[in-house]
Amino acid sequence: MQINNQQDNINMVQRMPDDIILTQIEFIIKTNHYKELFDFIPVSILIFDEEMRIVYTNQHFLDILGLHPNNNNYYGTRIGDIINCVHINKSKDGCGSEVYCNYCNIVRTVYEARVNKQSVKREFKFQYFSKNDVEVTDFLVFATPSTIINENYTICIIKNNSLTKQKEAIERVFFHDLLNTSGAIKGLLECAKQSKDMDELLEIIDDIDEITEYMIEEIENQKDFVSALDGRLQLDPTSFSLTEVIKKCTKRYMNYYSKVQCNVEEEIIIHSDKILVMRVLNNMIKNACENAKMKTVTVSANVKNEYVEVLVNNQCYIPEHIQKRIFDSYFSTKGSGHGLGTSSMKLLGEKYLNGYIRFETTKEDGTTFIFGIPKGVNSI
> Could you tell me which residues are beta bridge partners of residue 138?
125
List Cβ neighbours of 152 (8 Å cut-off, separation of 6 or more).
49, 50, 114, 145
Q: Could you tell me if residue 351 is inside a domain?
A: yes
User: Based on the domain organization, do 105 and 90 belong to the same domain?
Assistant: yes
Is residue 261 located within the same domain as residue 378? yes
Report pLDDT for 8: 44
Same domain, 267 and 150: no
Q: Is 60 helix (H, G, I), strand (E, B) or coil?
A: helix
Rounded average pLDDT over 183-211:
89
Sign of CA dihedral 298, 304, 307, 308: positive
252 and 272, same domain (yes or no): yes
Higher pLDDT, 105 or 75: 105
Q: What is the largest CA-CA distance in the chain?
A: 91
> Do 297 and 212 share a structural domain?
no
With vertex at residue 329, the alpha carbon angle to CA 43 and CA 161, rounded to the nearest 5 degrees, is 15
Q: Answer whether residue 337 shows pLDDT above 50.
A: no
DSSP per residue, 156-205: EEEEE-HHHHHHHHHHHHHHHHHHHHHHHHHHHHHHHHH---HHHHHHHH
pLDDT in tens, 4-44: 443 344 444 455 555 665 566 556 655 555 677 787 888 89
Are 358 and 349 in contact by the 8 Å Cβ rule? The answer is: no
pLDDT in tens, 341-367: 787 888 889 989 999 999 999 999 999
Report yes or no on 240 lying in a domain.
yes
Cross-strand partners of 33: none
Cβ partners under 8 Å of residue 351, min gap 6: 228
Last residue of a domain, one of 160, 185, 216: 160
The CATH number that applies at residue 83 is: 3.30.450.20
- Percent of the chain at pLDDT > 70 equals 79
Please give the Cα distance from 367 to 50 (Å, whole number): 49
Best CA proximity match to 148, nearest among 10, 221, 49, 243: 49
Q: How far is CA 307 from CA 91, 212, 302, 345, 374, in A?
A: 43, 34, 9, 17, 4
Q: Are residues 294 and 370 in the same domain?
A: yes
End residue of a domain, out of 234, 261, 283: 234
Same domain, 152 and 222: no
- Cβ contact 296:315 at 8 Å: yes
Distance CA 160, CA 42 (A): 11
What are the angstrom distances between the C-alpha of 279 and each of 175, 241, 340, 375?
Answer: 18, 15, 12, 17
pLDDT at 196 over 50: yes
Q: Give 346's contacts (C-beta < 8 A, 6+ positions apart).
A: 327, 357
**What pLDDT score was predicted for residue 61?**
86
Provide the 8-state DSSP code for 87: T
Report percent pLDDT > 90 for the chain. Answer: 21
Q: Does residue 243 sit in the same domain as residue 378?
A: yes
pLDDT on residue 90: 60
Instruction: List the single range of 232-246, 269-283, 304-318, 330-344 with lowest mean pLDDT.
Output: 330-344
pLDDT of residue 303: 92
Which pLDDT band holds residue 313 (cuts at 50, 70, 90)? very high
Q: Is residue 112 part of a domain?
A: yes
Residue of 337, 329, 346, 333 whose CA lies nearest to 164: 329
Give me Rg for the CA atoms of the chain.
Answer: 26
Summarize the confidence of residues 83-106 as an average pLDDT. Answer: 75
Domain boundary among 193, 218, 234: 234
- Asked if the structure places residue 6 within a domain, the reply is no
- Shared domain for 260 and 150, answered yes or no, is no
Residue pair 346/357 in contact (Cβ under 8 Å)? The answer is yes
Q: Write out pLDDT tens, residues 137-186.
A: 888 999 988 766 556 788 899 988 877 877 777 777 678 778 878 888 89
Whether residue 203 sits in one domain with residue 78: no
Question: CA 358: distance to chain centroid?
Answer: 15
At residue 277 the predicted structure's pLDDT band, cuts being 50, 70 and 90, is very high
User: What is the residue range of 172's domain?
Assistant: 162-234
Q: What is the mean pLDDT of residues 64-91?
A: 74
Give the chain's domain count. Answer: 3
Mean pLDDT score of the chain: 80
Residue 131 has pLDDT above 90, yes or no: no
199 and 145 within one domain: no
Question: Do 80 and 209 belong together in one domain?
Answer: no
Mean pLDDT of 250-260: 79
**330-347 average pLDDT score:** 63
Residue 214 lies in a domain: yes
Mean pLDDT of 50-75: 78
Query: 25: part of which helix (H) or strand (E)?
Result: helix 18-30
Ranking 55-64, 65-74, 139-148 by mean pLDDT, the lowest is 65-74
**C-beta separation of 289 from 312 below 8 A:** no
